[in-house]
Amino acid sequence: MRHFLLIPAALAGGFLLSGCAEKGSETVERAFQDVNVVDETNLNDVMLTVADPNEAVSYFSGAAKQNPDRIDLQRGLAKSLVRAKRNTEAVGAWEKVAKMEGATPDDQVDLADALIRAGDWDRAEAVLDAVPPTHETFKRYRLEAMVADANREWSKSDSFYQTAVGLTTRPAGVMNNWGYSKLTRGDYAEAERLFGEAIRQDESLFTAKNNLVLARGAQRNYSLPVIPMDQVERAQLLHTMALTAVKQGDVQTGKGLLREAIETHPQHFEDAVRLLRALETG
């Protein structure tokens, strides 16, 4: 009788151990899945920031094919295409994202950004018009300002730039864009002020420094502004100032600025040398 009782007990113990093993296996598998999710998230972030753009495109393209319903991977592909300057492909990728379940107004804004990069300003404007007015973000208003510039709607442009500046803690880039907008309108003094503001916000922004020189040169002010610059930047800015002077007919001033640029540059300044020779030979 005792033997008969042991058999069920042994079987029960076996089933219990089997159940524990299965639960343990499931627990381990879930743990590995969690680790894989964390690892994948980190890898996605790396691919979107520091990886080579075309490598990122390959990575997200493969991942999105394996998981076509995952909007985060489709977004990663679209962003990577933008980084790789493959603008036409980026438009198609963002259009796909914008139609997926879980798409947000930010995706529409990113689609408009891709369209602008691809030169399709009319479609970009239509996409931005469809974004809810309650979606107030820096990127949305920066793009709205650019579209208004393209349409020469200056009052709208100024309003959008002003709003965009107030929505970011790093306004240097948008101030530079706003200054360039003023420069194209012929409002050189205001452009000069905005470029100066951009440089105060970000002293490394050489584009703003170059634009500032253009704005001063357009007013026939051929002295370099008092801004942070290294020796190479100083030579390049003198070259820009010389080009502006020559374009306005102030050739002798331009020659003097070119000579100064050549003397300032720590290496051979081929562009300035070539232009000076051309001017001196008529």
Instruction: For 177-234, write each residue's pLDDT tens digit.
Output: 999 999 999 999 999 999 999 999 999 999 999 999 999 999 999 999 999 999 999 9
Domain that holds residue 36: 25-132
Output b/e per residue, 230-266; b: 16+ Cβ within 10 A.
eeebbbbbbbbbbbbbbeeebeebbbbbbebbbebbe
Comparing C-alpha atoms, which of 117, 109, 118, 116 is closest to residue 138? 109
Task: Give a yes or no: residue 232 inside a domain.
Answer: no
Tokens of 64: 């999105």
**Amino acid letter, 219:** Q
Task: Give a yes or no: residue 155 inside a domain.
Answer: no
Task: Give a yes or no: residue 15 inside a domain.
Answer: no
Reported for 220-227, long-range contacts at CB under 8 A and 24+ positions apart, including other chains, are 220/248, 220/250, 222/250, 222/253, 222/257, 225/196, 227/196, 227/199, 227/203
Comparing C-alpha atoms, which of 46, 113, 51 is closest to residue 78? 113
| Number of domains comprising the chain | 1
Task: Give a yes or no: residue 162 inside a domain.
Answer: no
CA distance 144 to 2: 87
**Amino acid letter, 11:** L
pLDDT of residue 282: 74
How is the chain split among helix, strand and coil, in percent rounded to 5?
Answer: 80, 0, 20
Query: What pTM does this model have?
Result: 0.80
| pLDDT under 50: residue ranges of the chain | 1-22, 24, 28-38
Task: Give a yes or no: residue 81 inside a domain.
Answer: yes
Task: Give a yes or no: residue 105 inside a domain.
Answer: yes
Q: What is the CATH number of the domain that holds 80?
A: 1.25.40.10
Task: Give a yes or no: residue 190 inside a domain.
Answer: no
Task: Give a yes or no: residue 99 inside a domain.
Answer: yes
Angle between helices 154-166 and 138-150 (to 10 degrees): 160
**Amino acid letter, 201:** Q
